[in-house]
Amino acid sequence: MTKIIIIDFGSQYTQLIARRIREMNVYCEIISCNSDLAALDEKGNNGIILSGGPETVDEHYVNKFSALFEVGCPVLGICFGMQLMALAAGGVVSSTVRMEYGHASLRARGHSKLLADIEDNVNEAGHGLLDVWMSHGDSVTKLPSGFKCIASTTTTPIAGIANEARDHYGLQFHPEVKNTTKGLEILKRFCVDLCGCERDWTSSNFIDRRVESIKNLVKTDSVVLGLSGGIDSSVTAALIHLAIGDRLTCLFVDNGLLRKDEASAVLEIFKNRGLKIRLINAREIFLKKLEGVTEPEDKRKIIGKTFIEVFEHEAQALKNIKWLAQGTIYPDVIESAGVKDGMGHVIKSHHNVGGLPETMRLSLLEPIRNLFKDEVKRIGEELGLPKKHMLRHPFPGPGLAVRILGEVTNEKCEILREADSIFIDELEKADLYNSVSQAFVVFLPIRSVGVKGDGRAYEYVVALRAVTTDDYMTAKSAELDFSFLNGVATRIANSIPKIARVVYDITSKPPATIEWE
């Protein structure tokens, strides 16, 4: 399989470069610039992209990274990456007087292989122009020998460089950002035309290859997986099941903190697929450990620890288990700076499940660790998991415990489950479920006066929360129609005797978070 390597120098856009390349069905991987790059060679790597970064390039960087330009495959340097390329080849990089940030009109020059015939419009003199996105404080002010200038703007005369004999290219602007309208075409020119990458990174190819590699890795052993019902663990289960059938056992732990009918919904999805799922009713164990606990962080820790205890107990009872499967995905891998390929790793004390004891000596199987979330969803659909399940809003590991402020009790869980299911049902009926990123109800530990029938009520308050977000790092409160919200509030307060009042949370993240705890 052909592949592009992206060296991450700390740009906020590095993941975006990878996303864009994967969008064109070309496989790529991100490697941190702090990893050991000495082993990087031409074999299996068709091209290298150097990301942008917040630092100023200097001799120290040149000494550390000049070997990247000798690997032998084409190299594209973006922003900091271009400056590193220029300095390493004997050019000059200087600080610009003013930081250049935002849109720029760029003139392509010199008929380079990288930019030839790619243009947004043409000026009066007949020169091709590109609308690009700039974000830099330094720029190349003297071309290195062997390089020509392939792009310029009024403020940045050297906005692109090329040594075409070596297929080394540098761009001061960011082709990965959508505001660079022809950015995808430029990246495609580099990856496909200049590096010769195949566009074979498709869902069905991925499934075929992964199934093969799981078979080769696991051989005749058995695998255990903690199935949460979320997208990542569901897709991981379906994929491994395709490879090894009933040598996969899934453990679904009902901790009493799940949404209404969650366990039966998950069992229903996998019912006809022949997946071996053991439903573990651990509700009492969890609720007992949460008695009297009010601090959000304490709740999380108790739930994490209890989950491991329950999971370990159940897994140890299974025979011949050698592997623990997890639905780790690429953003988790990048964030933990463990950017390496390969699915099989000996288990370490810290991982998604939270650290199983070394005595279990399980190896870790993470078949979707190279995928972004949208790729996971596509694979899930290709594997025949219901689209509705793939479009489900995320649900936090500690479940309803972080949506019940104060002490968690079974009574509060029951009330919250009912209210939450009404909100979700109304969103679905109004065709609004997929227009918000996440929606749920929060249980507030206060009582309020109301009037129900002819009588006075003095009951609980719940808050509706619905947000829109791309990345869950920032979010906006969803601007749901008032009469819709009013209808939800009325249905909740009328049908749940223990609820007297419903409020809507209109806070963005930041300053709030999406969950209330």
Of 176, 366, 375, 517, which residue is the catalytic one? 176
Q: Which is nearer to ligand XMP, 384 or 394 (CB)?
A: 394
Binding mask 245-284 for ligand XMP (x = CB under 6 A): ----------------------------------------
Q: Which is nearer to ligand XMP, 91 or 327 (CB)?
A: 327
Two tokens, residue 262 = 């969650």
**Burial of 361 from C-beta contacts in 10 A (0-12 / 13-18 / 19+):** exposed
Of 28, 33, 79, 250, which residue is the catalytic one? 79
Amino acid at 94: S
Beta strand 248-254 with 222-226 is: parallel
Taking each helix axis from N to C end, the angle separating 203-218 and 373-382, rounded to the nearest 10 degrees, works out to 90
450 binds ligand XMP (CB under 6 A): no
Instruction: Determine whether 60 is an active site residue.
Output: no
Q: In whole angstroms, how close is the CB of 342 to ligand XMP at the nearest point? A: 25
Q: Which is nearer to ligand XMP, 78 or 253 (CB)?
A: 253
- Give how many residues touch ligand XMP by CB under 6 A: 11
- Touching ligand XMP, residues 170-189 (CB under 6 A): none
| CB contact set of 299 (below 8 Å; sequence gap of 6+) | 290, 293, 398, 401, 402, 408, 517
513 binds ligand XMP (CB under 6 A): yes
CB 132 within 8 Å of CB 174:
yes
Q: How many CB atoms lie within 10 A of CB 208?
A: 12
CB 62 within 8 Å of CB 84:
yes
CA nearest neighbour of 321 among 365, 376, 262: 365
Instruction: Determine whether 73 is an active site residue.
Output: no
Q: In whole angstroms, how close is the CB of 508 to ligand XMP at the nearest point? A: 11
270, 403, 479, 495, 506 from 503: Cα distances, Å:
36, 14, 14, 16, 9
438 binds ligand XMP (CB under 6 A): yes
Q: Which is nearer to ligand XMP, 233 or 249 (CB)?
A: 233
Binding mask 131-170 for ligand XMP (x = CB under 6 A): ----------------------------------------
Q: In whole angstroms, how close is the CB of 329 to ligand XMP at the nearest point? A: 12
Binding mask 458-487 for ligand XMP (x = CB under 6 A): --------------x---------------
How far is it, in rounded angstroms, from Cα 516 to Cα 402?
Answer: 7
Q: In whole angstroms, how close is the CB of 509 to ligand XMP at the nearest point? A: 5
Q: Which is nearer to ligand XMP, 6 or 439 (CB)?
A: 439
- Touching ligand XMP, residues 370-399 (CB under 6 A): 394, 396-398
How far is it, in rounded angstroms, from Cα 483 to Cα 184?
Answer: 42
Q: Is the peptide bond before 367 cis (omega within 30 degrees of 0)?
A: no
Q: In whole angstroms, how close is the CB of 393 to ligand XMP at the nearest point? A: 8
234, 256, 272, 285, 465 from 266: Cα distances, Å:
9, 15, 11, 21, 24
Of 136, 168, 174, 241, which residue is the catalytic one? 174
The torsion angle over the Cα atoms of residues 95, 98, 101 and 103, rounded to 10 degrees, is -110
Q: In whole angstroms, how close is the CB of 256 to ligand XMP at the nearest point? A: 16
Q: In whole angstroms, how close is the CB of 512 to ligand XMP at the nearest point? A: 8
Place of tokens 């922003």: 79
Binding mask 294-333 for ligand XMP (x = CB under 6 A): ------x---------------------------------
Q: Which is nearer to ligand XMP, 229 or 396 (CB)?
A: 396
Instruction: Determine whether 174 is an active site residue.
Output: yes
Q: Which is nearer to ligand XMP, 173 or 307 (CB)?
A: 307
Two tokens, residue 36 = 């050991």
Q: Collapse the DSSP code of 169 into the 3-class scheme (helix H, G, I; strand E, B; otherwise coil) and give the result.
A: strand
Active site (catalytic) residues: 79, 174, 176
Q: Which residues bind ligand XMP (CB under 6 A)?
A: 300, 394, 396-398, 438, 472, 509, 513-515
